[in-house]
Chains A and B, each alone.
Chain A
């Protein structure tokens, strides 16, 4: 098999069917292998340098209540950064939905002796609404969405969007400065658009599903996704050693914000989860005792939920913070 060659230095490039940009391993030049995406639509958020990320990690250690205690035994093992590709776009949706919701209706009844009491019963209400909205969607252009920090960075991006630059406008000097590996895109523009349309409808349907007891009619037409861009976002992972084990923290590369972390489980944390179970018992007990009728099931379930969550964490090996 014959290899692709670097546009600038003619060195062989490693290219697979998913490659969009191949960074030359010799001179670092980004070659656009853009068979299935228009380079015009690729944007990049330039990353901070490695030492800034290291500083951000040290700050996190100072700030974090668990890590601060372990500070002297923590050792940074490795800091690595990547550009991760994301697709983003806008979908306009129109449609119609009819749904049923069970609601409790109460009214005060006065009996023949003049006593008043509250009477409640459940009614089925029917609603009819029209859908007319625009969704801004974003998702990883890679399949492995469970990868550490990949989805967390989307949440951060929405709150603190970096300044994006068209990839084409990035000059050589800037490339040399941020020379990070760009992870391959596993989803081309066509697939991304199709998924966006489908997911937009699902998002709306899920919303109605959550607020109704039954959907009776649902029609929703998505537009072709507009303003579709491939955005390359920098993610840094700092690996650190504590005791015998390696833990990690993911940082957004444009502003050095920690977006996800695994941490050693300290005794204090375990005690806190134990406290969580007690809180659950108290919520359930106090709530149910105060209501003392069928509706008492609500604090009971809430309390049991908190207790179960805490109980399953008490003996966990590591802790994930997002």
Chain B
């Protein structure tokens, strides 16, 4: 019989007996009857840039990083292909305005679970899985099955619906919950792990292999920068105390607190920096955008 691909509209002939077909033109795998796409396997091709160079360059821009860190010796560079299950979930609470639509990626290897938590995965530029990548990097079979990952993804949606229900003056109950879950497939996502040596010590960082952004990196802060930050933070705190005393003359305790608390709060991030020799940094913002379409 002749079928039409739901993605590219191409028509092609398949045997009568099958229920699932893969389009020979664009590669979409779909169910014949419902035209729903099923369980494709993709990967992201890594960008052709030097991950260690990107990492060190990014670090060199951070406050207090040693100026010569770009010349640090790179000890090890590994390209991990991390499997991620993707789900498209639509959930709502019957009789309520609580409703959520989310596309969620669940990393399927324990080692990267924390690193890629709430990670803003791109979907662009993915390709159909190619066995050759297994040879080019460290390839992981998913440790977490599709079903377990689905549970995790669903719990995120349910939590969001619960909150929306509360904000609507409704109560949440499982039996009114309607979930529509679509599995979007497994994606092997490239992540570079870079180890470098500076001043006889080893540090590491992770770089997104698909777009070159630094996910997380450790670096040493120079003692000079730490001292500077310490003096600066102390100065801010001192200014707060002095202002507090001055304002206390007219405003009593409230006047003191009004000067002291902003001083303390302003000094805190500066002093925090100065107190840690090894700093952690990164370029990825992990805020989950609750509202995608804005007025």
Contact = CB atoms under 8 A, between A and B. Distances in A.
Contact of A2 (B25, B61, B70): B25
B88 interface: yes
Interface string B151-169: 0000000000000100111
B254 A16 contact: no
B107 interface: no
A64 B290 CA distance: 34
Interface residues of A, number: 92
Most buried by B among A87, A293, A310: A310
Nearest to B126: A16
Contact of A315 (B70, B229, B244): B229
B5 interface: yes
A36 B291 CA distance: 23
Interface string B253-273: 011011101110111111001
Nearest to A1: B27
Interface string B238-251: 01100110111011
Contact of A206 (B229, B284, B291): B291
B247 A135 contact: no
A138 B125 CA distance: 23
Contacts of B236: 274, 277, 311
A264 B61 CA distance: 8
A317 B294 contact: no
Interface stretch (A54-62, A66-74, A196-204): A196-204
B16 interface: no
29 contacts: A1-B27, A1-B128, A4-B8, A4-B25, A33-B8, A35-B5, A89-B293, A144-B122, A145-B289, A145-B292, A146-B285, A191-B101, A206-B291, A215-B167, A277-B236, A277-B263, A277-B266, A281-B240, A281-B263, A283-B262, A285-B247, A292-B255, A293-B254, A307-B262, A310-B266, A311-B267, A315-B64, A317-B63, A317-B65
Nearest to B295: A135
Interface of B: 5-9, 24-28, 37, 40, 57, 60-65, 70, 88, 90, 97, 99-101, 103, 120-128, 164, 167-170, 229, 232, 236, 239-240, 243-244, 246-248, 250-252, 254-255, 257-259, 261-263, 265-270, 273, 281, 284-285, 287, 289-295
A120 to B, nearest CB: 17
Contacts of B258: 284-289, 296, 299-300, 303
A19 interface: yes
Contacts of A287: 258
A296 B123 contact: no
Contacts of A196: 293
B213 to A, nearest CB: 10
Given A278-B239, A311-B267, 4 more contacts: A15-B8, A197-B99, A288-B255, A311-B236
Nearest to B246: A285
7 closest cross-chain pairs (CB), A and B = A289-B251, A288-B258, A307-B266, A289-B255, A285-B259, A277-B266, A218-B168
A142 interface: yes
B97 A35 contact: no
Contacts of A281: 239-240, 243, 259, 262-263, 266
A7 to B, nearest CB: 13
Given A215-B167, A307-B262, A291 B254 contact: yes
Nearest to B242: A281
Nearest to A202: B291
B118 to A, nearest CB: 11
A246 interface: yes
B269 A36 contact: no
A137 interface: yes
A135 B129 CA distance: 41
Given A137-B295, A201-B99, A215-B169, A315 B63 contact: yes
Given A209-B167, A218-B168, A308-B269, A289 B250 contact: yes
Interface of A: 1-4, 15-19, 33-36, 87, 89, 95, 98, 135-140, 142-146, 154, 183-184, 186, 191-192, 194-203, 205-206, 209, 214-220, 244-246, 264-265, 274, 277-278, 280-293, 296, 299-300, 303-304, 306-308, 310-312, 314-318
B57 A245 contact: yes
A135 B254 CA distance: 44
Contacts of B285: 146
B266 A144 contact: no
User: Of A19, A283, A315, which is in contact with the most chain B CB atoms at under 10 Å from its CB?
Assistant: A315
A175 B152 CA distance: 45
A293 to B, nearest CB: 7
A143 B202 CA distance: 36
Contacts of B291: 199, 202-203, 206
B268 to A, nearest CB: 7
> Which of B37, B254, B270 has the most C-beta atoms of chain A within 10 angstroms of its own C-beta?
B254
